[in-house]
Amino acid sequence: MTFRTIPEMVLSVGDRFGDAEAVVDGDLRITFTELVDLVRRAAGALASAGIDKGDRVAIWAPNSAEWIVAAFGILTAGGVLVPVNTRYKAQEANDIIRRSGAKAVLVQRGFLGLDFQTPDDIPVIDLKSGFLSSGAQFECAVDGEDIADIMYTSGTTGRPKGVMMNHAQTLRMFSEWCDLADLRKGDRYLVVNPFFHMFGYKAGLIASMIRGATVLPVPVLDVDEVLALVEREKVTMLPGPPTLYQSLLSASGGHDLSSLRAAVTGAADIPVELIRRIRNELPFETIMTGYGLSEGGTATASRRGDSFEQIATTVGRPCDGIEVRIADDNEVLMRGYNVMQGYFGDPGATAEAIDADGWLHTGDLGEIDDDGRLRIIGRKKDMFIVGGFNAYPAEIEGFLLAHPAVDQVAVIGVPDERLGQVGKAFVVSKTTVAPDDLISWSRERMAGFKVPRFVEFLDALPLNATGKVMKDQLR
């Protein structure tokens, strides 16, 4: 069944899946039929509050059943969803709320004692206040080409930019994602990825509504609670960053995880051994890795039958309707229906990102192997030059992760009088190792210019909400 818009797809779930559970959030259990009613009422409440077609509405709140109802309610009212990172402080969040032109902001008061301070002149609605269920049922006519959401880039480098995507491209992309990730009708999907990110909202909520999976939202990642939920709710689908699976492997003892079937992850530097352990020590039958970015959605993915090494060291082959090529400077370029509609209110940045031939310049560096699989070797901005040689942090990190004492690592370039730049490694260790020993070990395994000159040990790497290392903080 092909849908033109996200509301059309979501409002059909009652007919398609009936009284099966759509959302389980603590003691709250919502069927697909009930969800349709809640979404229509939320749309009515928003329309009564003055939200018209094309108006932007921000949600600055953790994963919850109310977030789901609000997001689909905004779209059903004809609005444009603007998710805001819950890790942002007030100044960062308010910058996005203002630049997006949001007509209202939905927050969750009292979450973890956080004070979601918002601009005084923009109406604020508490998700838990009963507002969402206060409206009469309503639905606004929207088109597949209308903008559905503006998702601001995570901002690990530079000021976040608002990526515009329409209904049709999102539905096409995540319909295919369901097949690649092995998401099935009746799956119980524990969504630890934040809803403000594409991995949580689109690969989580939208994919679940397409396929008829039960969503179990996780507001704060607590591994013990995740393990208990998997056991209690018989979770089958558990995507997340590599760090999630490392935590599961370390703490899985004593819990029945036999229901787990499908894993989905993605990173430039997944150790092959981690993929092997996920498959051998946890019950997962399928593991998918992929490559995506806010500006282009999920662009590549591994396929059934790929080896442990292929799953770990590449991000798979391009998805249907998407072209990927490598530019002369090794930057990954992509073209197809998946490319964003542009950066909201920033035609200059849009023109920089998408060239005249329609190629999106990703800022990532990569190579394509003989079988057409993409391998990410680093970020263009992360690359540093050692005495005239290009050094790619992701590649160096991959070598260092093979050391038995290294649990996690991030490499950056630091200034050097003689060579211009040299590598510095920030390491979270499993066991004690001397910096000099790690450097000597590295010299035996990689070219001299790649070997880090400095090693600093940390208790933890600074991560953003999606598990990516924030290298700007290391610098």
Question: How confident is the model over 200-235, as pLDDT tens digits?
Answer: 999 999 999 999 999 999 999 899 999 999 999 999
Question: Environment class of residue 250 by beta-carbon count within 10 Å: exposed (0-12), middle (13-18) or buried (19+)?
Answer: exposed
pLDDT value of residue 466: 65
SS3 call for 335: strand
In single-letter form, the type of residue at position 40 comes to: R
pLDDT value of residue 271: 80
pLDDT value of residue 91: 85
Q: Are 405 and 430 in contact (CB under 8 A)?
A: yes
Whether the pLDDT of residue 342 is over 50: the answer is yes
Burial 369-408 (b: 16+ CB within 10 A, else e): eeeebbbbbbbbebbbebeeebbbbbbbbbbbbebeebbb
SS3 call for 65: helix
Looking at per-residue confidence, does 122 or 382 come out higher? 122
Q: What percent of the chain has pLDDT over 70?
A: 98
- pLDDT confidence band for 138 (50 / 70 / 90): very high
Whether the pLDDT of residue 366 is over 90: the answer is yes
Half-sphere exposure of 317 (CA within 13 A, CB side): 11
* 243-301 confidence digits (pLDDT tens): 789 889 988 778 999 999 999 998 666 888 889 999 999 999 999 999 999 999 999 99
In angstroms, the CA 191 to CA 67 distance is 13
What average pLDDT score do residues 84-111 get?
91
Whether the pLDDT of residue 155 is over 60: the answer is no
Whether the pLDDT of residue 46 is over 80: the answer is yes
Whether the pLDDT of residue 156 is over 60: the answer is no
Sorted by where each starts, the structural domains of the chain and their CATH numbers stand as 1-164 (3.40.50.980), 221-381 (3.40.50.12780), 382-474 (3.30.300.30)
pLDDT value of residue 269: 65
Q: Which DSSP letter does residue 132 get? A: G
The structure's pTM equals 0.86
Whether the pLDDT of residue 467 is over 80: the answer is no
- pLDDT confidence band for 419 (50 / 70 / 90): confident
- pLDDT confidence band for 157 (50 / 70 / 90): very low
Q: Please give the mean pLDDT across all residues of the chain.
A: 93
